[in-house]
Chain A
Amino acid sequence: MHPSVTRTARLLGAGLRALLALTLVTGVLYPLLVTGVAQALFPGKANGSRVTADGRTVGSALVGQSYRLPARPGQEDPGPDPRWFQGRPADGLGENSRNTRYALVLSGATNLAADNPELVRRIRQAKAAVVADNSVPGHRVDPADVPADAVTSSGSGLDPDISPRYAALQVRRVAHENDLPVAAVRALVAEHTEGRTLGFLGEPRVNVLKLNIALKALVTRG
C-alpha cells in the first residue's frame, strides 16, 4: 500500500480511538453520574414534575394541556370546556409522523411570520372567540382587554402558563359556569398568580393546571 494511505488509516484509527475513549467519558459516565445525582436528590423533578389530584396523575406542572369538552361520536373538536380556565392556543403542536405505533406529541411553534395573512386571520379569529366565550350575561368583554398571550401560540405549544390578565378575563365566565361567586374565583386566581422570580426574572404568570385543580376542589366543596 502507498505510504500516504497507511498514514491516513493510522491517523483515522487514532481519531476513532480518541472518539471511543471520550464517548465513554462524556456519553456514558457523565450522563449516568448526572442521572444518579438527579434521581437521588430530586426524583420528582427529574421525572417530569407530575401533579396528582384525587389520587391520580393529572399531568405535569410544567407542561400545558388542553381543557376541551368530551367529543361526541362523529364530532371533530367540540371546543373548549367553559368550566375550566383555558391555556394559550397551540397551533404549532403536531403529532408524530415517524415511529407511528406511538402517539407522541411533537412540540413546536407555528413559525408563521409577523406579516403572514394566515397568522393575522388566526389571531383575529382567536380574539373573536375569546371575546365570545368570556362574555357572560351582563358583562361583555372589550376586545381591547384581550392580552396577546390569549391569541398567540407559544414556542413549544406546551406553555403551561397564561398571563394574569388572561386569567382575570376568564374569571366571570368560570364563576358563571360553575355557579361560584366571582369574588371567590378572583381570589383563587390571585392566589395562583406567580410574580417575577426575584422580582425581575421572566414575567408574572398563572399556571393553568394548578389553577384548575384548585378550582375543581372549590367546586366540589361547593
Chain B
Amino acid sequence: MGPVLAGVLQLLALTGALALVHIPLGNHLARVYSGGRHWRVERWIYRAIGADPDAEMRWPAYLRGVLAFSAAGVLFLYLLQRLQGVLPGSLGFASVPPAQAFNTAVSFVTNTNWQSYYGEQTMGHVVQTAGLAVQNFVSAAVGMAVAVALVRGFARSERSGELGNFWTDLVRGITRVLVPLATVAAIVLAARGVIQNFSGIHEVGQFTGGSQQWNGGAVASQEAIKELGTNGGGYFNANSAHPFENPTPFTNLFEIFLILVIPFSLPRAFGLLVGSVRQGYAILAAMAAIWAGFAALMMWTEFAHHGPALEAAGGALEGKEVRFGIGGSSIFAVSTTLTSTGAVDSFHSSFTGLGGGITLLGMMLGEIAPGGVGSGLYGMLVMAVVAVFLAGLMVGRTPEYLGKKIGPREIKLAALYILITPALVLVGTALSVALPTPPHSALNSGAHGFSEVLYAFTSAANNNGSAFAGLNADTDWFNTATGLAMLFGRFLPMVFVLALAGSLGEQRPVAVTAGTLRTEKPLFTGVLVGAVLIVTGLTFFPALALGPLAEGLA
C-alpha cells in the first residue's frame, strides 16, 4: 500500500468513526441542554456560585454571566502565572513576565491557546494543571453555552426572549460532557504512551552515555481536553508532534477524532433542539463538505511537495514526524485549523506554500467547518442567517430561518459578527508590517515572512492558536497586540450572537408557506457553502495573494 492510499483510508476511517459517534453524542448534548434534574455535585457548585440554576436569563444577563466568568478567568490565570515563583509544585520555575502572562491568560480563556512561551521551560505543574488545563475545560463549556443560547433563540416560540441560564449551561457542559469524555480519552492516551505523572525534573540515561533532563507532567489529562475542547495549547513546545503528547499513529488519529467529535455532533443536537433533525444535517453537510474538500486539497499539495527545499529533500517531511507521515499530518493540519484548536502534529510553516495557505484559509473561514466547540455552531448559524438573507434578496422575499424573520436588526448583528474578525486580522497585520520593529520578528523573508505575521493575527483573532512558528511572538508588541486580538475576537462576536439570540427569542414564529426557503434541503447547504467561501474570499483575497499565493505560485 502506498502512503497516499493509506492517507485516504485514514480519512475514511476517521469519517466512519465520526459518523458512528455523532448520533449518540448529539442526542446526549441535546438532552444535557434541555432541562431535567440537577445532579447533587452540580447543586453544590450552584450553591458555591450563589446562582439559581432554574432562573431564566434574557440575553443581557446571559452575556453578563459570560463576561464576568471570563474576566475572573483572565485575572486568576494571570495571577497564577505571576505568582508561580512562590507557588509550591512549580518545579522551582520563575514567575512569568507580565506581558507574556497577560497574553497567555487571555489566550487560554478565549479558547485560543496561542503560546508565546516554551511549555517545558516556563510552566510548572500547578500553572499547567490547575490553570491552563482548567481553562481548556471552561472556555470550551462557555463556547457551547453561547451556541445553545443562540439555538434557544431560534427554538423558543413564547416571545419571552429568555435564553436559559448561563451558569447551568456552563456547569452541565463540564460535568456531563467534557469531564466524562476527557477522562476516557486521557486514559486511552496514557495507555498508548502519553505520560501522566507529577515527577520533578529528572535525569534519564542515554544510549551512548550521559543523560538528559526531562520534565514530568500530567500530560495525558491535559492532552485529552486540549483536543476535545478545541483548545490546542501544548504541554511541550512541539505540541502534538512531541512523542510524549502523541506517541503513535493511533494516538494521532485518535487526537484528530477528539478535535472533531463535539463540533460534528453539535449540529445534530441543534436539529433536535429546534425540532427538526434535518435542519441540523443541512448545517452538518456544509461543515463536512468544506472539511473533506480541504483535507483532500491538503493531501494533494503535501504529497506533491512543491518548493525548492522540499524538492531537494524528495518529500515534504520538514517539520513532520515519520510515524504520522504526510497523510496523518495533512489531516491533522486541516482539522486543527478548521476548528479553533491550533494544536499541531507537524509544523505549518514548513508545509508547501499552498499547504500553508490552506491552513490560513481554514481559519479565515471563521472556523466553522466544523469549527470550535460551540463557536463553530454559532458561527455557522450566523452564516446561515446571511445565506438566507442572500437567497431572500434574490427572490425578493423577507428572509426567514427556522420560522424566525431575519429583519434589519438580525442582519445587522450578523454583519457585525462577520466583520469584526477580518477587521482585527487585517488591521493587526497591517500595523505589524508598517511599524518599524515588529517585522524583525519574522524568521523567513519575503512572502513567507508576511505570511508569518498574517498567520499570527488570523490565528489570534479567530481564537485558533496555531502559528507559523518561525515568528518570534514573545515581544511586548506581539504579546499585547495578539492578546487584544484574541480578546476582541472572542467576546465581540459573542456579544453579537447573544444579541441576535435575544432578538430571535422575542419573535413569534411565522408559519411555513409555499414561498418559504426550505433550509433543510441540499440546495440550502449549497447556498451556505457558497456564502461562506464568497464572503471569506472577498475579504481576504488581497492578503492571501501577498503571502501564501505568492509563495505557492513562485
Hey, which bits of chain A sit against chain B, CB under 8 A? 8, 11-23, 25-28, 30-31, 33-35, 37-39, 41-42, 45-50, 53, 56-68, 70, 81, 84, 88, 92, 94, 96-99, 101-117, 119-120, 123-124, 127, 146-149, 151-163, 196-197, 199-203, 205, 209, 212-213
Tell me if B350 and A105 are in contact (CB < 8 A): no
Interface residue from A45, A62, A111 paired with B191 (Cβ < 8 Å): A45
A124 to B91, CA, bound (A): 41
Contact pattern, B 43-72, Cβ under 8 Å of A = 1, otherwise 0: 011001111000000000000110011111
Tell me if A35 and B204 are in contact (CB < 8 A): no
Question: Chain A residues with Cβ under 8 A from B305's Cβ?
Answer: 114
Tell me if B51 and A22 are in contact (CB < 8 A): no
Q: A59-B204, A155-B241, A155-B345 are in contact. List 20 more A-B contacts (CB 8 A).
A: A11-B68, A12-B72, A18-B48, A19-B72, A39-B197, A47-B197, A50-B204, A53-B207, A62-B243, A98-B94, A98-B118, A104-B120, A113-B350, A114-B305, A119-B350, A156-B236, A197-B249, A200-B10, A201-B253, A203-B6
- Chain B nearest CB, measured from A88 CB (Å): 7
Tell me if A103 and B213 are in contact (CB < 8 A): yes
Tell me if A62 and B207 are in contact (CB < 8 A): no
Question: Chain A residues with Cβ under 8 A from B314's Cβ?
Answer: 146-148, 151
Tell me if B238 and A22 are in contact (CB < 8 A): no
A156 to B346, CA, bound (A): 8
Question: Chain B residues with Cβ under 8 A from A96's Cβ?
Answer: 118, 120-121
- Chain B nearest CB, measured from A77 CB (Å): 13
Interface residue from B3, B195, B198, B328 paired with A48 (Cβ < 8 Å): B195
- Chain B nearest CB, measured from A178 CB (Å): 15
A44 to B199, CA, bound (A): 14
Question: Chain A residues with Cβ under 8 A from B349's Cβ?
Answer: 109, 111-113
Question: Chain A residues with Cβ under 8 A from B470's Cβ?
Answer: 111-113
Question: Chain A residues with Cβ under 8 A from B316's Cβ?
Answer: 114, 148
Tell me if B312 and A155 are in contact (CB < 8 A): no
A148 to B216, CA, bound (A): 32
Tell me if A38 and B174 are in contact (CB < 8 A): no
Counting chain B residues whose Cβ lies within 8 A of the other chain, the interface size class is 35 or more
Interface residue from B68, B195, B207, B443 paired with A47 (Cβ < 8 Å): B195
Whether B159 is near chain A, meaning CB under 8 Å from some CB there, is no
A103 to B309, CA, bound (A): 32
Hey, which bits of chain B sit against chain A, CB under 8 A? 1, 3, 5-6, 9-10, 13, 41, 44-45, 48-51, 64-65, 68-73, 75-76, 91-94, 118, 120-122, 129-131, 133-134, 137-138, 167, 170-171, 174-175, 178-179, 182-183, 186-187, 190-199, 201, 204-209, 212-216, 218, 220-222, 224-225, 236-238, 241-244, 247-250, 252-253, 305-310, 312-325, 327-329, 344-347, 349-353, 356, 443-444, 446-448, 468-470, 551, 554
A158 to B69, CA, bound (A): 39
Q: A45-B190, A115-B309, A155-B321 are in contact. Are A197 and B250 (CB under 8 A)?
A: yes
A156 to B322, CA, bound (A): 11
Interface residue from B178, B242, B320, B352 paired with A158 (Cβ < 8 Å): B242
- Chain B nearest CB, measured from A169 CB (Å): 13
The closest CB in chain A to the CB of B322 belongs to A161
- Chain A nearest CB, measured from B214 CB (Å): 7
Q: A14-B68, A88-B322 are in contact. Are A119 and B309 (CB under 8 A)?
A: yes
Tell me if A201 and B241 are in contact (CB < 8 A): no
A112 to B442, CA, bound (A): 11
A100 to B2, CA, bound (A): 46
Question: Chain A residues with Cβ under 8 A from B122's Cβ?
Answer: 98-99
Q: A111-B349, A148-B317 are in contact. Are A25 and B175 (CB under 8 A)?
A: yes
- Chain B nearest CB, measured from A14 CB (Å): 5
Interface residue from B204, B313, B328 paired with A152 (Cβ < 8 Å): B313
